[in-house]
């Protein structure tokens, strides 16, 4: 009898209808990909992304039997999100109550459209682009009086555009106002540089104090502004300009101070914490940490990332940085080298593994890259010094998208000797993916056992530093 009674509550529950579960956000996504099978899509919170590479998706989705993707979220923080599909990123503003359909042909992002509840916010974000960077040089061609008139009229027109859309979520309006004010300030701060370039030297760059005041960061808008990658990029560029001025003054006052990368990172860290609005410290330190992790080596990473984790242990950016750092750990000293393959000028296939038993210095470059070409005189000198040492190989991997440009460059510079290979795929090549190459030139040293010796090796122009690194491996 007791056994039957134990099941009675369950039977009673099944006799009654349960309330339908409410969702905070619902998206129906319809995509054209040109492929037979629709790709898996990933949803990212862009407010947590520090760099350009999307990491740590919130969730992933497959198309249903009708070919649509259905995204339902039980809770949501207001913000800018991205639907990533087939390497393409579709921005969406999400907040509680959004019930929207998103359609797009991935081969042409101009076909992107939003309909339904919350569509106006995403549509406005996608189209609103005040003070684009492409116009900054054009502003530099203006005399100061013309510049002031242009900057003020453009700002007012953009503010009118925000205010005219009074049905927008108030946080979206605040987000766009933050970006507008910040970009206006950056144009003002950059004006002396662009004006002198345009004039070919000295030029009048005096602006009224009221206009110079535009360069001040509105800390009250920073919290909502930092949701957007565009705002964060502008903040970092703004900080870089200010730091450049600080560095110039520092070096004039301390001419005998040796300025290595670790000293540079230390000064940049201090500049952020001492000179910038406190509302920006978390992001600026996160972004500097990302640069250190990606480009500057273990010591520089510890200087800034170690400090960052201590000051901001609960930062929303920390999971992103931890993910990037983990990817770099796969490229740490002593890890097995990932294969590098390419086509030689004579059409033969060449692999990194062909040179196992030798020290290999890999230079990733492209013909359009000015800093890459700027290193070639030093690279030629370096190679000449090791010409009689058969245990050292200088390998040059081009990631040009135009193979003809690479071939023509080598034909025009017969003195540029070494093992040259052309790598298919440009930035999407296995070389760039496997070795986290986000900027060039990039140099990697491999030891005789075919292991990574230094995934961020010194440049040819570094003098004794690169020579000591090579000699240590011989």
Give tens-digit pLDDT for 23-80. Answer: 899 999 999 887 778 889 999 999 999 998 899 999 999 999 899 999 999 999 999 9
pLDDT band at 345 (very low <50, low <70, confident <90, very high): very high
What is the chain's mean pLDDT, rounded? Answer: 91
At CA 286, angle to CA 281 and CA 287, rounded to 5? 105
Q: Which phi and psi angles does 223 have, rounded to 5°? A: -60, -45
Percent of the chain at pLDDT > 90 equals 76
Quote the pLDDT of residue 11: 47
> What CATH superfamily classification does 341-473 receive?
Glutaredoxin (3.40.30.10)
The architecture that CATH gives domain 25-127 is Sandwich (2.60)
End-to-end CA distance of the chain, in Å? Answer: 84
**Other CB atoms within 10 A of residue 460 CB:** 23
Q: Write the CA distances from 339 to 294, 386, 410, integer angstroms.
A: 20, 24, 24
| Residue 355, token pair as written in the block | 């040179």
pLDDT in tens, 393-430: 999 999 999 999 999 999 999 889 899 999 999 998 99
| 335, β-bridge pairs | none
Angstrom distance (rounded) from CA 410 to CA 383: 16
Q: Is the pLDDT of residue 141 over 70?
A: yes
Quote the pLDDT of residue 19: 56
Residues 341-364 have a mean pLDDT of: 96
Angstrom distance (rounded) from CA 207 to CA 193: 13
Q: When comparing pLDDT for 129 and 10, which is higher?
A: 129
Angstrom distance (rounded) from CA 77 to CA 94: 8
At CA 253, angle to CA 248 and CA 254, rounded to 5? 95
Helix (H) or strand (E) holding 337: none
> For the chain, what are the domain ranges?
25-127, 129-222, 341-473
CB under 8 A, 24+ apart: contacts of 307-311: 307/269, 311/281, 311/285
SS3 of 408, please?
helix
Lowest-pLDDT range of 101-115, 150-164, 195-209, 307-321? 195-209
Q: Is the pLDDT of residue 109 over 60?
A: yes
Q: When comparing pLDDT for 295 and 464, which is higher?
A: 464
pLDDT in tens, 202-259: 888 899 999 999 998 888 889 899 999 999 998 998 899 899 999 999 999 998 888 8
């Amino acid at each position: 009898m007791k056994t039957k009674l134990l099941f009675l509550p369950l039977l009673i529950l099944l006799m009654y209808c349960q309330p339908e579960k409410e969702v905070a956000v619902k998206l129906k996504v319809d995509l054209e990909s040109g492929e037979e099978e629709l790709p898996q899509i990933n949803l990212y919170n862009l407010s947590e992304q520090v760099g350009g590479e999307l990491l740590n998706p919130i969730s992933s989705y497959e198309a249903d039997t009708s070919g649509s993707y259905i995204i339902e979220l039980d809770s949501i923080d207001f913000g800018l999100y991205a639907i990533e599909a087939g390497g393409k990123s579709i921005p969406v503003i999400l907040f509680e109550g959004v019930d929207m359909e998103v359609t797009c042909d991935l081969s042409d992002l101009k076909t992107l459209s939003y309909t339904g509840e919350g569509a106006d916010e995403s549509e406005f974000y996608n189209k609103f682009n005040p003070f684009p960077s492409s116009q900054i040089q054009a502003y530099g061609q203006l005399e100061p009086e013309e510049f002031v008139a242009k900057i003020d009229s453009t700002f007012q027109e953009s503010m009118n555009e925000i205010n005219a859309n009074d049905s927008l979520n108030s946080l979206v309006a605040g987000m766009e106002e933050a970006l507008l004010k910040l970009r206006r300030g950056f144009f003002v701060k950059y004006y002396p540089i662009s004006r002198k370039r345009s004039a070919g030297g000295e030029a009048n760059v005096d602006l009224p104090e009221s206009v110079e005041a535009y360069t001040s960061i509105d800390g009250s808008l920073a919290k909502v502004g930092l949701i957007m990658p565009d705002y964060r990029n502008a903040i970092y560029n703004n900080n870089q300009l200010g730091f450049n001025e600080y560095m110039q003054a520092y070096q004039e006052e301390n001419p005998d101070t040796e300025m290595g990368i670790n000293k540079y990172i230390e000064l940049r860290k201090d500049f952020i914490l001492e000179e910038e609005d406190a509302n920006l410290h978390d992001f600026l330190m996160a972004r500097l940490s990302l640069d250190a992790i990606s480009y500057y080596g273990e010591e520089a990473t510890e200087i800034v990332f170690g400090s960052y984790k201590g000051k901001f242990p609960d930062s929303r950016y920390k999971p992103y940085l931890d993910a990037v750092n983990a990817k770099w750990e796969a490229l740490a000293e002593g890890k097995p080298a990932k294969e590098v393959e390419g086509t030689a000028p004579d059409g033969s296939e060449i692999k990194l593994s062909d040179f196992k038993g030798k020290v290999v210095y890999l230079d990733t470059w492209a013909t359009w890259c000015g800093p890459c070409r700027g290193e070639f005189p030093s690279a030629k000198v370096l190679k000449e010094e090791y010409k009689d040492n058969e245990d050292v190989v200088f390998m040059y991997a081009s990631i040009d998208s135009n193979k003809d440009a690479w071939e023509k460059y080598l034909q025009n510079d017969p003195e540029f000797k070494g093992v040259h290979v052309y790598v298919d795929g440009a930035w999407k090549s296995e070389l760039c993916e496997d070795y986290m190459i986000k900027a060039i030139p990039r140099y990697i040293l491999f030891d005789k056992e075919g292991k990574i010796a230094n995934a961020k090796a010194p440049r040819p122009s570094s003098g004794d530093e690169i020579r000591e690194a090579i000699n240590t491996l011989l």
